[in-house]
Structure 1
Amino acid sequence: MRRIGLCVSLLITVLAMGACESEAQTFADRDHKSVKQTAAKPMTNKKKQDFQTLASDMQLAIVFSSMIHLSEAFDYGIGNPEYFVRSSMTEEKADIAKENLESIQLENKPLRKQNSEAFALLQKTRNHEMSREETQLLKENRDAFFEVTDSMIKLISQVTPKNAKKTRLQLDQLKKQYTQYSAESINIMNSIVKKQGADKASFERHLEALLQKQPGQPVLSELN
């Protein structure tokens, strides 16, 4: 599988350092199952925890790990079919690109639900009032991110040998926007951590641990 955007290790480094890279991450291999496993699982009633009783650093780590996993799902889900789109394509190659797009098309709605759940929890964080402005900026950023992913999915789903050159040019522009919004979201997350006064070292440990959880292992579904 091919991917676009920022890798998880870079995301951890960016949050730890309070800085952000804006370059696209090189493509890496991964299979379709990983894309499907990354999406959030339905809410369940067992082993519920009260989110509001958790420490601020843990609250933010849970919210942001969910958003980062979400971005990673789009990295892989769009990255692979996008890689196959060329300025000159045969009908067979166009079909391959579309086939590789099927996973993210199926997961689009569940991932959007995951994003909404993460924002709902962010508004319940212990020191939410201290980062209200940054939270709004993050929401606007993620809305723009989804607009770009929708545009990329639509372009790839409609690629043909006849429109391949135009599609490739449009995807190149959208990739720049995609990477920009991914980078900006990490900067905003970092600002929220600072504004809420969370323990930075503890937050980083929790975030790294959550990002290393088995793909598909629920986090939000274990919380009220």
Structure 2
Amino acid sequence: MRRRDFLGAFPAVIGCRQVAQAHASPKGEPRYPAEVSGRSLVLGHSEGFRSSVTRLSLQDAINLACGSGMLLEFRPGTYRTSDLQVSKSLDVRGTRGLSIIESVHRRAVNIDVQPDDDCERLSVSIRGLVFSGRSFPHTRPVNSSSHPIGVLPYEPEQFNGLLTVRRVPDLLITDCVFDGAPEAAVALWECNDAKIMSNRISNSRVALYSYAGRGIMFFENVLEEPVEFGVYSHFA
């Protein structure tokens, strides 16, 4: 099958059709030019693409990359989306500092990563993306004595991140920017041996939240004010 036919037949060509069906894009979701280059699915803006090129929403692109095993690559630009879901192994790369994920709503984009089947072992790698949560009043500097850490909630449905990952044993997040997280920049639930490294985090209440995780490597990250708490861990 030729490359243009491959994209044109989306989502029928996906080996795991249930992924595309379970995580459908909301009606009216922004769509961006996409093309297959080698083993990569490349998303961008109009420059450098044919006028007849296939256009995909971010959720559609994730579904396609997850189902085919391709690298999902973002060219420079701002990509607007609703919340996103990832339930299969995925490798994502952006142009460092220039590939921006932004909400279509007046809030943050929540990216939820978790396997459909608890027995499935996912491998997820995210590099070079900017996650923009806009701005939030509570991300202003606070007096910790009047707003103690003990008041932070720790139930999954109450405390998530711009990027929330559940039960993924092979996780790498590097060279990313997280700005304006209403809760945590990155929230990990029962993730062991995750590597969170060389990221920049600002305007967020918590840089990294971890629940019941072990062996997590959080190093060489730059925290810029206002970040209320660096690492907040429960049952580590």
Q: Confirm or deny a common fold (TM above 0.5).
A: no
Normalising to structure 1: TM-score of the pair? 0.24
Greater relative contact order (Cα < 8 A, sep 6+): 1
